[in-house]
Chains A and B, each alone.
Chain A
Amino acid sequence: MNTAHLTEAQLQLYADNAEAIDRHLKEHLAHCSNCQIKLENYRLINSALKAMPAPAFDFDLAEQVLASVAVKKTPVAWVPLLAAVVGVLLLALTTGLYVRNIAVWFVALPKVWSYVLTIPVLVFLLVHLILSIVEYQRKMNMLLSK
Chain B
Amino acid sequence: MNTKTPRQHTDQQLVDKILGGDMSAFKQVIHETENLVAHLAFKMIPVAADRKDIAQEVYLKAYHSLPNFRFQSKLSTWIGQITYNTCLHYLQKKKPVLLECFLEKNDNDIENLANGFTENEAETRLLARELNESMSRAIQQLPALQQMLIGLFYHQELSLAEISGITNLPEGTLKSHLFRARQQLKQILLRMQKREEI
Interface residues of A (CB under 8 A from B): 5, 7-9, 12, 34, 37-38, 40-42, 44-52, 54-57, 59, 61-62, 64-66, 68-69, 72, 141-142, 145-146
Contact = CB atoms under 8 A, between A and B. Distances in A.
Contacts of A54: 1-2, 35, 38-39, 151, 155-156
Interface residues of B, number: 55
A8 B131 contact: no
Interface stretch (B58-66, B102-110, B165-173): B58-66
B55 interface: yes
Contacts of B135: 45, 48-49, 52
Secondary structure at the B interface, as helix, strand, loop or mixed, is: helix
Nearest to B23: A66
Contacts, number: 121
Contacts of A49: 135, 150, 154, 185
A52 B125 CA distance: 23
Contacts of A62: 27, 30-31, 34
17 contacts: A34-B122, A34-B123, A40-B126, A44-B129, A45-B186, A48-B131, A50-B1, A52-B155, A54-B39, A55-B42, A55-B151, A64-B56, A65-B63, A72-B60, A141-B89, A145-B86, A145-B88
Nearest to A54: B155
B60 A65 contact: yes
A57 B89 CA distance: 21
A48 B126 CA distance: 14
Contacts of B35: 54, 56
A40 B65 CA distance: 46
B189 A55 contact: no
Given A7-B119, A12-B182, A44-B131, A37 B38 contact: no
A49 to B, nearest CB: 4
